[in-house]
Structure 1
Amino acid sequence: MSDFDHNQLDELIHSRIRLAVMAVLAGLDKAEFTFIRDRVKTTDGNLSTHLRKLEDNGYIDVNKRFEGRKPVTEIALSPKGREAFEHYLTRLESMLGAGTRSTDSQ
């Protein structure tokens, strides 16, 4: 199998918004919904849709609580999500390396 096999990329992560969410969370223990929304520069509804897909697949853990009367949603990468993201990056790096090698040999 070629290193340049784009079919090996995790389609769930490969969406621009979900990739950005995973990248934000990879460097943190957890983050509030509003922090992620602001970093990713998307709307509440759009982010909610993408978070639901990640949560439904076990890539993130979502904790909802109240501070006083204010709802707070915290999101963290699950162990499965962290592993999937690391695998995604490894595959992407492999593809980039394979693309570079084929260009260099011409």
Structure 2
Amino acid sequence: MKHTIHTLNKAFDHRVRLGVMAVLLGQSDPVSFNELKETLDLTDGNLASHVAALEKAGYVQVSKQFVGKKPNTTYTPSSEGKQAFQEHLNALEKLLRG
């Protein structure tokens, strides 16, 4: 039987990825790059690299479009991302309960 610590999802090990998922799951609408950046107090590059890791894992969906002449990138959690994050939170709660 696996110890609870081994059921934590490595994709959420970093505080930025944990924060991105928490913000996305706390919103009913897609969240823009700038909103995520401001909410989590991150640089462009730091946010971009962590969102790319979540996208590669299949946990975040990215939508790119233009609003007028400006690019606008928004993010939403995928159904797989929602499930994986909930399982991660459940494992954390289990660890806290001992």
Task: Letter of the 1:94 partner, please give it.
Answer: K
Deviations 1:16-56 (A, max 9, x none): 10000000011113100100111111100000000000001
Task: Letter of the 2:26 partner, please give it.
Answer: G
Distance in 2 between residues matched to 1:10 and 1:44, nearest whole Å: 25
Count of residue pairs the alignment pairs up: 97
Consecutive unaligned residues of structure 1, counting only runs of 5 or more, are: 99-106
The answer as to whether partners of 2:16 and 2:40 remain within 8 angstroms in 1 is yes
Q: State percent identity of aligned pairs.
A: 38
Deviations 1:70-94 (A, max 9, x none): 1000000000000001000000000
The answer as to whether partners of 2:8 and 2:88 remain within 8 angstroms in 1 is yes
Larger radius of gyration: 1
Consecutive unaligned residues of structure 2, counting only runs of 5 or more, are: none
**Superposition pairs of residues 22-101 of structure 1, within 5 angstroms:** 22-29=21-28, 30-98=30-98
- Note the aligned Cα RMSD (angstroms): 1.1
Moved over 3 A (4+): none
* TM-score (normalizing by structure 1): 0.87
Distance in 1 between residues matched to 2:88 and 2:77, nearest whole Å: 14
SS in 2 for 1:21: helix
SS in 2 for 1:63: strand
